[in-house]
Each structure stands twice: as structure tokens, then as C-alpha cells.
Amino acid sequence: MPPKKKKGKGKKKKKKDEKTELTIEDKYKRTMEEIECLKDELAARSEIARRSKNTADRMKERMREAKEEVETEQQNKLDISSDLTRQYKTMQSEMALRIHMLEQTVNKLREQLASTEEELKKTRKERDDIRREKDEIIAELQFKIDHMESAYESVLHDAFDRMAIKVEDARARWEMESSEIQEKNKQLLLEFGLNPLEI
């Protein structure tokens, strides 16, 4: 800041000789004015420097806080990343274990299915064999029944024929015996003097 210059008071009429030097008092006043100007400038610059320092301190504090926030955020990110990595690895391990267990279950079920299919095939064969044997037995029994029916029919016809002959023989015999008995009774009645036709 340029030194202040006083108007009017500081100026005196020029002496006749312009080359004459300033007096000591003028130099002192001039120097004091320069000192005051420099003091004012120094005070102004000190104030600017103080404000700048305060601003710098505030900015440093804000920078420190921002740095702490960034570090905290980075630590949080690291923690989250670590936790997610751990969870991912745990999930991957659990998934691998589950896949392994499911594969074992699938293999076991396939074995059971193969065994069941084999057993079903065997059961169907046994059923078909039993059905075939049953059909053969039924056919054989039906044949025997048919044969027995015809045999029984023949036996019955023979028995009825023999019975009819026996009945006919018995009837003839009874008729003959009856005729003989009637004849004897007639003779007896005649001997007693009775007429059989009247009785």
C-alpha cells in the first residue's frame, strides 16, 4: 500500500533554490508516515494472514474429517466386502454340500428305481407264470369236469336203464305174483262157496 500523503499541510512554499535538500524534520515526518502506512498495511496483511490461517485450519479440519470419513467408508466397504465374500463362500460351500447330497440321493433313488423295476419285472413274470398255471389248471379242471359230466351222464343213463329194467322185471314179477295170489284167493272163495265176482 503506498504511503499516505498529506494534502496542504505537508506542502510548503518552494524555496527559491529547488536543489536544497529536505530538512530532517520533514524526513522524520515522511518516515513516520511511511511507518504508519507500513503498519496499517502490515495490520491488514496480518488480518488477511490470520483469516487465511483460520480458513486453512478449517479446511485442514474439514480435510481431516473428510479423510476420516473416507477411511471409515473404505473400512466399511472392506468389512462389507469381507462379510459378503465370507457369506458367498459359506453359501458356495453349503450349495456344494447340498448338490453333493442331492447327487447321492439321486444315485440312491436311481438304484432303488432299478431294483424296483427289476422286482416289478420279476413280479410280473411270476404273475404271468401263476396266471398261465392257473389257466392251465382251470382248463385241465374244465376238461375233467366235462369228462366227468359225460361219464356221470353215461353212468346215470346206465343206472336209469338198469333201474328201469329192474322196475319192469319187478312189475312183471309183482303182476305175476298178484295174479297167482288172486287165483288162490278165488279158489279159496270158491271153496267157501262164495262168488268172487260178487265180492
pLDDT of residue 13: 45
Task: Give the span between the Cα atoms of 170 and 165, in whole angstroms.
Answer: 8
| pTM over 0.75, yes/no | no
Residue (of 173, 196, 167) closest to 184 by Cα position: 196
Is residue 89 scored above 50 in pLDDT? yes
Q: Which three cell numbers, joined as nine digits, stand for 84?
A: 459378503
Cα–Cα distance measured from residue 191 to residue 185, given in angstroms and rounded to the nearest whole number:
10
Does the structure show a pLDDT above 80 at 12?
no
What is the pLDDT averaged over residues 139-161? 85
State the cell numbers at 105. Answer: 440321493
Whether residue 179 is predicted with pLDDT greater than 80 in this model: the reply is: yes
**pLDDT confidence of residue 130:** 92
Residues above pLDDT 70, as percent of the chain: 87
Highest mean predicted confidence (pLDDT) among 35-49, 150-164, 179-193: 35-49
- In whole angstroms, give the CA distance from residue 23 to residue 28: 9
The model's confidence at residue 15, banded by pLDDT at 50, 70 and 90, is very low
Give the C-alpha separation, 160 to 155, whole Å.
8
In the chain, the amino acid numbered 147 is H
Q: DSSP letter string over 169-198? A: HHHHHHHHHHHHHHHHHHHHHHHTT--TTT
pLDDT of residue 199: 58
Phi first, then psi: give them for residue 21, nearest 5 degrees: -80, 160
What's the whole-number mean pLDDT along residues 84-94? 92
